Amino acid sequence: MPLNARVRPLRPGYSISRNVMAPPFEKGTLGGFVSAWQPRVGGGGWDHAIYILSNCHVMSATPFAPGNASRIMQPAVSDTGVAPADEIATLTHYTSLNALGGNPLDAALARLDAGVAVNPTYQDGTTIQGIRAPVMGEVLTMDSAISGPHTARVVNIGVNSAISVFGALVNFNGYTEVTNDAPVGPSIVGDSGGIWRGADGCAVLLNFAGNWSDDQGRTVAVPLAVPVQQTDFWGTPMFAQDGSPVLRTHTWRHIDNSGFGIPMPTVMTWVRLQLGQGAKFLDAAAIAQ
């Protein structure tokens, strides 16, 4: 089954979007499911909830500002999704993108509607076995709505640079670059939000941007050098002792089919801050709770 098709129970890797095709709009990928216990509204106990993990720029109608509760559908409205029949979740948490400063994350969570069934297995039959940081040179796998199941190699870790988001250059800090040699690159429009997984089954990166080649291997160019203001891990500007901003020039290696990801431990730290220390990737035991 193509990953831009409707799938029930829901599975990771398939296409999702907001329920209206209004700007800013981008369809993306259901990266994975996060399980958490939440205090019951009004008190009196705890409720078990399941959330979709994907990108802010996929699931939020206002990615540069807080305060919306977008409805999420599967498949994407630009595929065959029809509202309200294919609506599955409501956006609850996301990292607002800062157009002026550094961004360590492009992540969002949407709480699944009651009664929506899920199957956390990927196309190879595996589920996420944990989270860890990327390792230089390792080969990762991602299931995504446009490219399907595919692999790529980690070629750069801890990069600070500017990425185009809805036509604006936005500074991101600490991201990872992956690439492969196939004519079709590891990340194209619609793959945003997919989870790059290691051979050990661990979630390693959350995909959020990329470029691609045509079938003859011609590469969409990216800037060869982008000067950006150096920031710490959470986007706080760093300054020299004389008060001037510290600038770092990142020479962007000319790599065919570059893709970009954010280290998954960073994402899950944010998830746990939002949902509590019990938050984890969904597995069979979590479904049964």
CB atoms within 10 A of CB 111: 20
On average, the pLDDT of the chain sits at 74
Please compute the mean of the pLDDT values over residues 137-144 and round it to a whole number. 88
The Cα 197–Cα 150 span in angstroms is: 11
Highest mean pLDDT among 101-105, 183-187, 243-247: 101-105
Highest mean pLDDT among 9-23, 39-53, 56-70: 9-23
The Cα 94–Cα 116 span in angstroms is: 21
Question: pLDDT grade, residue 121 (50/70/90)?
Answer: very high
Cβ–Cβ under 8 Å, residues 89 and 116: yes
The Cα 48–Cα 99 span in angstroms is: 35
Cis peptide before 66 (omega within 30 of 0): no
Cα angle 261, 263, 267 (rounded to 5 degrees) comes to 105
Cβ–Cβ under 8 Å, residues 207 and 144: yes
Question: pLDDT grade, residue 139 (50/70/90)?
Answer: confident
Question: pLDDT grade, residue 188 (50/70/90)?
Answer: low
Q: Say whether pLDDT at 8 is over 90.
A: yes
Please compute the mean of the pLDDT values over residues 80-93 and round it to a whole number. 93
Give the torsion sign (CA, 40, 129, 123, 218): positive
Q: Which residue in this structure is represented by tokens 């609850």?
A: 92
Q: What is the pLDDT of residue 176?
A: 76
Q: Say whether pLDDT at 93 is over 70.
A: yes
All structural domains of the chain: 15-122+267-288 (2.40.10), 130-263 (2.40.10.10)
- Burial label for 143, CB within 10 Å (0-12, 13-18, 19+), is buried
Least confident span in 117-131, 163-177, 265-279: 163-177
Please compute the mean of the pLDDT values over residues 11-21 and round it to a whole number. 94
The closest alpha carbon to 109, from 14, 206, 236, 203, belongs to: 206
For residue 70, give the 3-state DSSP assignment.
coil
